Structure 1
Amino acid sequence: MMLIRPIEARDWDSLWSLAHKTGPGFTSLQPDEGAVRDKMEWALASFAAETPLAEALYLFVLEDTENGTIAGISGIESAVGLRDPWYNYRVGTLVHASRELGVYNPIDTLTLSNDHTGQSEICTLFLDPEYRHSKNGSLLSKARFMFMAEFASRFTDNVIAEMRGFSDGGGISPFWEGLGRHFFSIDFTEADQLSGRNKVFIAELMPRHPIYTNMLPEAARNAIAQTHPDTTPARRLLESEGFRYTGYIDIFDGGPLLETRVQDIRLVRDSRYCKAQVVDHAPGGELFMLANTRMEDFRCCLSPLAMDGSHILNLTPAVAEALNIDTGDTLRVASLSGQRRF
């Protein structure tokens, strides 16, 4: 069975292994031991805090309970940009017109922005290629929304998601080559890794005035708001839950920033409480997401259920054990696909 749970100190080796598989452009998890250890310690402190941290990081792992393998990771930051500046480009339009000459030229621009400072962010989603099947990606991503639904007071009304931008087979970002390199004079991978630790250099080196995109190379223009091929499924999944591109992109690779209101996320809106009843044989049916209601011991998994509208869930002992619950305990439940509403 595949199970989502909070990261624990014993997961260090697995987290470090995943960091070596993410590849260029995956800013939030690179093979930088200091940065990865800081991330783990931050997450452990966030879950253990008696009162919510102002800027908390909740990291979850996807565990294969059959063999103990950690197959993926995903996270939520309660608020971005409170300790270090949060930058992206706002894509806008300026019109250059002359009635006398009969000229009317709308031109896209990029303006450095801190507009999303203080907002919650879903982040650090990575699934081991060997486990990219059987709805594992959906579970890894959507379990975060079950957590947000249960602990809504820990997050802001708006939530954002930065998508990894387009790069070619060699890991080269055309957006970076056409724009960022002129101001930083370093390779994309190095700049991306530096941004994961300290963003001050961005403010020191990036242009403060709007950039006219028609002055960029065609390859860089075409990469604006485009996702990396490996990230396209994650983008589609988020869009199916209510996230939308609203005109902001990453300053390094041009990847789109998606956003929505937390209460407009389909899983948050449609999830309901049910009581568990552990039985020897539970009838199968549509796939549902099931999560317990505990903080440090949060658990979430997928299970086929036959919902009869009674708000009593018949669960097998295996599912109950995975969720660490017993008969009479409360669960948060939601259809994985959204086809069924309570």
Structure 2
Amino acid sequence: MTKHGEIDQAYLIRPVAMDDLDALLALILCSSGGLSSLQPRKDFLKKYIKGSIDSFAGILPIESPHKYLMVMIDVAHDRLIGCAAVKTQIGQDSPFINFDLFGDGESQVLKASSRFTGATEVGSLFLHPDYRDSGLGRYLTKVRYLLMAHEPWRFGETVVAELRGICGTEGSPLYDHLFAYKLDKTFLEADAEYFDRNPDTLGEIVPLGAVSVYNMPVGVKASLGQPHPSGIGAMRLLQSEGFIFSGTVDLFDGGPIMAAHRDTIRTIMASKTEQIVGATDAINARTALITAGSVSDFRAVVAPAAALETGLFIAPYALPVLDAEVGDTVTYWQGEPPRRKAQNTPSPVQAQVNTKAKA
């Protein structure tokens, strides 16, 4: 990191590979059970990785579920430090059942629902604790949206994100009230089985008809639609992208399911497609998320870049990481520059461009 908080090296984000299995497992174990969509079991992860490889390769029918799992690499240390995923056609090959929340006051009820069947889901987001203060989590979040921007037709118009609800090793208010006595399992045990999507188990426990909220214990009512304290930051990031609470909560922990229209996600709307016109360590370069290739050969890099009228200048050490060269077209996202006082002196990059123009 530089003194201005910008990234001063390249971080690669690419599709997961089978060779990542051990490193991915080690990363997931750092989550202490918080990454429940990626179970810390090699057999589970092998199947997930294989499905992701097939999804990126484009060998699956477009109407079938796809799982695009990406990993972030600290290039300088050759270390896998994060992951993020996009899933399409959720609920098609395994149940995606939750509760819709209807009404207010005495008439408020929960009703089992599969309303998001066929939607696209963003999730499986985790960054190693050693890198939490780097600002990299912002880019790991956004790379999922830029993946969609490359070939929007692959992804549903409705995009959802599940946030962990009020739960822990001690249980979850909603689960303990509605399901514990039926399953005779702890919340964590049941949650793991739920993520294996066992249709027989779900069919036996999901309540039929409306479930009154009014007569539930106060703690249960208060938990509905609330994210786990560790997920408040994630909820704010989703809200900054235009996601809103959908009125649907997780079946077991009552966490909020956020939803947005794919084409109105702010990172997608703010992304730009430009040609790489040069490689330079410009003083005015700022951290950008730069993506190249189609979905089948998707790659992204977090590195300094400077966007000018003529195109995009990228830090020279980032080009080989991105497997790109000057003249290639890339899609990128870059935050707004910090506010500064007006200056009459052009930046080194602008001066270089002006000099060439005069010549």
- Tell me how far apart the structure 1 counterparts of residues 288 and 83 of structure 2 sit (CA, whole Å): 20
Which letter does structure 2 place at the counterpart of 1:333? Y
2:65 equivalent to 1:55: yes
Q: Please give the root-mean-square deviation of Cα atoms over the aligned residues, in Å.
A: 2.0
2:43 equivalent to 1:34: yes
Q: Which residue matches 2:312?
A: 313
Q: Which residue matches 2:323?
A: 324
SS in 1 for 2:296: coil
- Tell me how far apart the structure 2 counterparts of residues 13 and 291 of structure 1 sit (CA, whole Å): 26
SS in 2 for 1:277: strand
2:100 equivalent to 1:90: yes
- Tell me how far apart the structure 2 counterparts of residues 171 and 60 of structure 1 sit (CA, whole Å): 32
Q: Deviations over 1:71-97 (max 9, x none)?
A: 111100111011112101000016xxx
Note the C-alpha offset of 1:327: 0.7
Q: Give the direction of change, closer, same or farther, for the CA distance of 1:64–1:25 in structure 2 (3 Å limit).
A: closer
The unaligned stretches of length 5 or more in structure 1 are: 95-104
Of residues 4, 10, 23, the one that matches 2:32 is 23
- Tell me how far apart the structure 2 counterparts of residues 337 and 106 of structure 1 sit (CA, whole Å): 46
SS in 1 for 2:82: strand
Q: Which residue matches 2:206?
A: 206
Q: Number of paired residues?
A: 328
Q: Which residue matches 1:195?
A: 194
Q: Which residue matches 1:75?
A: 85
Note the C-alpha offset of 1:117: 0.5
Comparing 269-278 with 243-252, which one deviates more in the overlay? Answer: 269-278
The unaligned stretches of length 5 or more in structure 2 are: 1-9, 340-359
Of residues 61, 65, 89, the one that matches 2:75 is 65
Q: Deviations over 1:107-133 (max 9, x none)?
A: 321110010101111121112212112
Q: Give the direction of change, closer, same or farther, for the CA distance of 1:292–1:339 in structure 2 (3 Å limit).
A: farther
Question: Is the CA contact (8 Å cut-off) linking 2:65 and 2:90 kept in structure 1?
Answer: yes
Note the C-alpha offset of 1:3: 1.8
Question: Is the CA contact (8 Å cut-off) linking 1:3 and 1:300 kept in structure 2?
Answer: yes
SS in 1 for 2:133: coil
Q: Give the direction of change, closer, same or farther, for the CA distance of 1:79–1:258 in structure 2 (3 Å limit).
A: same
SS in 1 for 2:171: coil
SS in 1 for 2:76: coil
- Tell me how far apart the structure 1 counterparts of residues 275 and 206 of structure 2 sit (CA, whole Å): 54
2:42 equivalent to 1:43: no
Note the C-alpha offset of 1:52: 5.0
Q: Deviations over 1:168-198 (max 9, x none)?
A: 5x45322222222133221111111111112
The 5-angstrom pairing of residues 149-228 of structure 1 reads 149-168=149-168, 170-200=169-199, 201-228=201-228
Comparing 126-135 with 171-180, which one deviates more in the overlay? Answer: 171-180
SS in 2 for 1:296: helix
SS in 2 for 1:15: helix
Q: Give the direction of change, closer, same or farther, for the CA distance of 1:280–1:317 in structure 2 (3 Å limit).
A: same
Which letter does structure 2 place at the counterpart of 1:92? F
2:136 equivalent to 1:136: yes
Identity rate, percent? 29
Question: Is the CA contact (8 Å cut-off) linking 1:159 and 1:262 kept in structure 2?
Answer: yes
